Structure 1
Amino acid sequence: MTQLGEIQQAILNGESATVGSLPVPESYRGVTVHADEVDMFEGLESRDKDPRKSLHVDDVPVPELGPGEALVAVMASAINYNTVWTSIFEPIPTFKFLRKYGKLSPLAKRHDLPYHVVGSDLSGVVLRTGVGVHTWKPGDEVVAHCLNVELESPDGHNDTMLDTEQRIWGFETNFGGLAEIALVKANQLMPKPDHLTWEEAASPGLVNSTAYRQLVSRNGADMKQGDVVLIWGASGGLGSYATQYALNGGAIPVCVVSSPEKAAICRKLGAELIIDRSAEAYKFWKSDTEQDPKEWQRFGAKIRELTGGDDPDIVFEHPGRETFGASVYAARKGGTIVTCASTSGYMHQYDNRYLWMNLKRIIGSHFANYRESWEANRLISKGLIHPTLSKTYPLEETGQAALDVHRNAHQGKVGVLALAPQEGLGVRDEEKRAKHIEGINAFRGA
């Protein structure tokens, strides 16, 4: 049996505490993109770029463990849109991030390689910790959030997302979670929810923390009871968590989806006010350069029809270019548009009269700090927020998993198994799981 096989077997046997006595292998399998392939999709439209061609499963060396860091045996991971961006080399190849990071210090130089091990989620078991790590030890079952910070500047000590050297692990750094072993900073680690399987526990990290900051935190929209919250893509990776937070927080979600199947998922979560934008046939753009304000007005009227006359207090934005004009229009006077992404394009256009004359606010929100991520994970652990995993692929089929997300051919989150040989493993509290099984399985088979 290989060294990695021994580690895997110990974890599967419920003997995670013993992994600290087992040798760490010299190499592992990781999902990579290659620096010499960054031009492979040149001339193609974004939608035609195929992650199956650019994402490879390679044997790569285990990186040197530095102070304040941990090596984790990865049981499962998940796909986020940043892995899609990485795989199609947009908006820029991530090797530019790795080169910049590599200039920071001799320790950071490890990340500047001709291959990039990707992935910003994981669940697994701590194998080793570096000098200066006191909270975590080998054998701990963990999940990881994706905020990588240095905190040598004062800027980040009020909110670590403002650190001058803030990066997203597995996107702007190397040695990510779509692999059998990952390298993280110890302050990325959080306890694995004990009622979830490995793949379920791996799936919330990035999107759950992002939605928490964007909607609940004072650093985001600071949602309160009774707020009308317009949620784009309400059954997707981000939107499915925003919908849960709105419902749990006493707000009133208005869920925007693109099919009856996605509407059904939102209803299963408990949402009642749903707009199927495909059925309504909204066309916010007349052409590539001109939007249609009459469609904004028709959209706003539909929202008021559902809410009994109320406009949204908060608009949960992430599609970007395609929807942003409508979002600014639809928010109530004094309302908030909070945005964390631009999956349909980065160059947003909106009519500023609706913003300035109606005293609306646009807030930029990016991932979450450790406190926010911890709180979001705590809610998962308590069974108040549930994973939205719909489908899981083996590590060898990560390219297909990324293609599903790229083409929006998925619901909720798409998981990837690493050292976990099959789904359904890793549950430590069956009684708690039984209480929440309906919520846990809400997206299964969708």
Structure 2
Amino acid sequence: MQQILDAILAGDTSPEDYAALELPASYRGATVRKDEVEMFEGVASRDKDPRKSLHIDEVDLPELGPGEAIVAVMASAINYNTVWTSIFEPVSTFGFLERYGRVSPLSKRHDLPYHVVGSDLAGVVLKTGLGVHSWKPGDEVVAHCLSVELESPDGHGDTMMDPEQRIWGFETNFGGLAELALVKSNQLMPKPDHLTWEEAASPGLVNSTAYRQLVSRNGAGMKQGDNVLIWGASGGLGGFATQYALNGGAVPVCVVSSDEKAEICRKMGAELIINRSEAGYAFWKDEHTQDQKEWRRFGGDIRALTGGEDVDIVFEHPGRETFGASVYAARKGGTIVTCASTSGYMHQYDNRYLWMNLKRIIGSHFANYRESWEANRLIAKGMIHPTLSRTYGLDDVGQAALDVHHNKHQGKVGVLCLAPEEGLGVRDEELRAKHLTQINAFRGV
């Protein structure tokens, strides 16, 4: 592994020299273990501790199949799916691996008593399988997390519709929180030259998700002048949604939970901000009853900021806690687009506000390769920026996941894998200098 790292740090290693490197038989990766899936039984979700369930284990290097690549992972990042995996909610991910293992003899590799997790990476291609023509050893890459088989016609209009669509590192094995990772070659994209390894690794999942959800015709199809309500506007998803709204000529209405998070939104260029903690919204009277007076108060606060206009689009991901208010707040003919339910999956809303006002609810899940490529291209051009706030080492991945689990983070939390320190991997210092303030907007908050 040291020879691989030395080749990367040298900065001038040729593709031929990379191809000649011997791959190790095993590598270090962040895992959960199948024999521990009941370790938190009877424990409340918030009290489940990823530091107890995430292990750094030495695992076997998987067989390289056709259309695949082995990547040396310099850095990765924490997403909420890693939190779910680590606390075994809402289900154990070993069920995903077992089902994938039944698809083909090759996919059987994924059905193991351990799960190497992680759905982001930035690193260097070391070896490619048969049929890979677009990537070669030595290419500096990032990876998006869509894994598809594409043997069904259903996925050929939009690969997210493939019946065998999975999220790499969550519903597949050999993910990015490790020294090496196994990916399909159609997950790879060029690493933005002006970013460090940890900065480049951090946007992947959330950037692509926000792009499809808000910008793509498969999502809300945002246009210039739209008012866009963004929950958690300084978070991993919301931080990119806020940038896309501003970049696309829309008007973000940012909902945050503290003055510090409001300041991050202002750093990004947003002006219309609601601090929900300060406002004290109580959308639920009790476990079963929502308070529509609070919906109306919330709608009034939005209109006070927008000059009397309701929002065209609601960027939803909290779920149960906010969904009723989101459906209410959208304008007549407006769109509520949802990609997650971090506060609960069972949503309740008053359907009168939906059907009588001709609103739409759109489900959005990650992004296809084209959408991911476009989102990464905007990062590479310096038009959209990483939201990295803090970086841990691989040995501290449990603490990194706990931060995200307890919402103690801003933006994204990065993890160094092979990279020995932060700040490495920049190839375009001139472009970086132009955008350094935006790149660091989430740092130190």
* Band the TM-score falls in, shorter-chain normalisation: over 0.9
- 1: CA distance, partners of 2:12 / 2:358: 58
Query: Paired residue for 1:142?
Result: 141
Q: 2:8 aligns with which of 8, 11, 16?
A: 11
Moved more, 29-38 or 281-290: 281-290
- 2: CA distance, partners of 1:333 / 1:372: 28
Give the letter for the 1:195 counterpart: H
Query: Paired residue for 1:62?
Result: 61
Give the letter for the 1:220 counterpart: G
How big is the shift at 1:37?
A: 0.4
Give the letter for the 1:49 counterpart: K
Query: Paired residue for 1:22?
Result: 21
Q: Which residues in structure 2 correspond to 1:409-428 (within 5 Å)?
A: 409-428=408-427
- 2: CA distance, partners of 1:60 / 1:19: 22
Give the letter for the 1:206 counterpart: L
Give the letter for the 1:246 counterpart: A
Query: Paired residue for 2:260?
Result: 261
Q: SS in structure 2 opposite 1:427?
A: coil
Query: Paired residue for 1:293?
Result: 292
- 2: CA distance, partners of 1:190 / 1:141: 9
Runs of 4+ in 1 over 4 A off after TM superposition: none
Give the letter for the 1:105 counterpart: S
Instruction: Report Cα offsets for 1:279-324 as digits up to 9, x if no partner.
Output: 0000111111111111101000000000000101000000000000
How big is the shift at 1:405?
A: 0.4
- 2: CA distance, partners of 1:110 / 1:386: 36
How big is the shift at 1:15?
A: 3.2
Give the letter for the 2:159 counterpart: T
Give the letter for the 1:340 counterpart: C
Give the letter for the 1:179 counterpart: A
- 2: CA distance, partners of 1:319 / 1:12: 41
- 1: CA distance, partners of 2:398 / 2:343: 21
Query: Paired residue for 1:53?
Result: 52
- 2: CA distance, partners of 1:164 / 1:298: 42
Query: Paired residue for 2:329?
Result: 330
Q: SS in structure 2 opposite 1:326?
A: helix
How big is the shift at 1:20?
A: 1.5
Query: Paired residue for 1:122?
Result: 121
Q: Which residues in structure 2 correspond to 1:224-373 (within 5 Å)?
A: 224-373=223-372
Instruction: Report Cα offsets for 1:92-133 as digits up to 9, x if no partner.
Output: 000000000000000000000000000000000001000000
Give the letter for the 1:376 counterpart: A
Q: Percent identity?
A: 81
Instruction: Report Cα offsets for 1:9-41 as digits up to 9, x if no partner.
Output: 110111343322110000000000000000011
- 2: CA distance, partners of 1:259 / 1:369: 34
Cα-Cα RMSD: 0.5
Give the letter for the 1:9 counterpart: D
- 2: CA distance, partners of 1:19 / 1:347: 50
TM-score, scaled to structure 2: 0.99
How big is the shift at 1:245?
A: 0.2
Give the letter for the 2:185 counterpart: A
> How many residues are aligned here?
443
Report if aligned partners of 1:317, 1:339 keep a CA contact under 8 Å in 2.
yes
Query: Paired residue for 1:94?
Result: 93
Query: Paired residue for 1:392?
Result: 391
Q: SS in structure 2 opposite 1:332?
A: strand
Report if aligned partners of 1:75, 1:123 keep a CA contact under 8 Å in 2.
yes
- 1: CA distance, partners of 2:155 / 2:13: 34
Give the letter for the 1:368 counterpart: A
Q: SS in structure 1 opposite 2:178?
A: coil
Report if aligned partners of 1:31, 1:56 keep a CA contact under 8 Å in 2.
yes
Change (3 A) 1:361 1:177: same
Q: SS in structure 2 opposite 1:75?
A: strand
Query: Paired residue for 1:80?
Result: 79
Instruction: Report Cα offsets for 1:72-94 as digits up to 9, x if no partner.
Output: 00000000000000000001000
Structure 1 gap ranges (5+): none
Report if aligned partners of 1:128, 1:138 keep a CA contact under 8 Å in 2.
yes
Report if aligned partners of 1:16, 1:141 keep a CA contact under 8 Å in 2.
no
Structure 2 gap ranges (5+): none
